[in-house]
Amino acid sequence: MRRGALTFVSAGVFLGGLLLWGPPISMAQEGAKKSAASTPAPAEISWLSYDVGMARAKKEGKHVLIDFYTTWCGYCKKMDRSTFRDKAVVGFISKNMVAVKVNAESNKPIMHEGKRLTERALSRRVYGVRGYPTYWFVSPKGEKLFYIPGYRSGPDFLNFAEYAGGGHYKKGDYKSFLESKKSRKRSSK
């Protein structure tokens, strides 16, 4: 009888140990999955210099957003305080694009297609920027796609970012993209 009782107790201890140790391991694994899936979007856009951003975009195959600004531009500052802190804008750009800031009045040297320029020369000669803020969207290969001037609200800017960063410009014009987006929204309700 004693042997049977010991076997029974041993089996109970063994199974109890599995139950005690098993769930925490799987809960830890489940918690890791949840935290990876629910990693919050960054609160701000990580802006890069022109040289670094263009190299990263080419390497990662991502579209580029270039923010041409000046230090005295009120609407540039407003974009930084509002639109570029909008969760949807920050999330989309951080995930799908490379963000670059260029001070359009700076004499900081940069490289563009193997040539040494200043940020000022880049903005005026290469991108033709004349007013601030101006945002250029560029392909991963460095091809200029289109630009938008002036202040934009979060939802408005997000539309342009999705059109460029999502590659929708390859399928049709911006107006068609917006109409398609609106019809998808209506049909999902």
User: Is position 36 within any domain?
Assistant: no
Cβ distance 135 to 116 under 8 Å?
no
What mean pLDDT is predicted for residues 39-46? 77
User: Is position 29 within any domain?
Assistant: no
Number of domains in the chain: 1
Q: What is the pLDDT of residues 155-187, one digit of tens each?
A: 999 999 999 999 999 999 999 999 988 888 777
CA gap 162, 169 in Å, rounded: 9
Residue 145's domain spans which residues?
47-168
pLDDT value for 11: 45
User: Is position 6 within any domain?
Assistant: no
Closest CA to 67 of 143, 118, 127, 22: 127
User: Is position 64 within any domain?
Assistant: yes
CA gap 104, 55 in Å, rounded: 20
User: Is position 56 within any domain?
Assistant: yes
User: Is position 13 within any domain?
Assistant: no
Q: What is the pLDDT of residues 46-86, one digit of tens each?
A: 999 999 999 999 999 999 999 999 999 999 999 999 999 99
- CATH assignment at residue 62: 3.40.30.10
User: Is position 106 within any domain?
Assistant: yes
User: Is position 71 within any domain?
Assistant: yes
CA distances from 156 to 47, 87, 153 (A): 20, 13, 5
Where does 57-96 show beta strands of DSSP type E? 63-69
Per-residue confidence at 6, pLDDT binned at 50, 70, 90?
Answer: very low
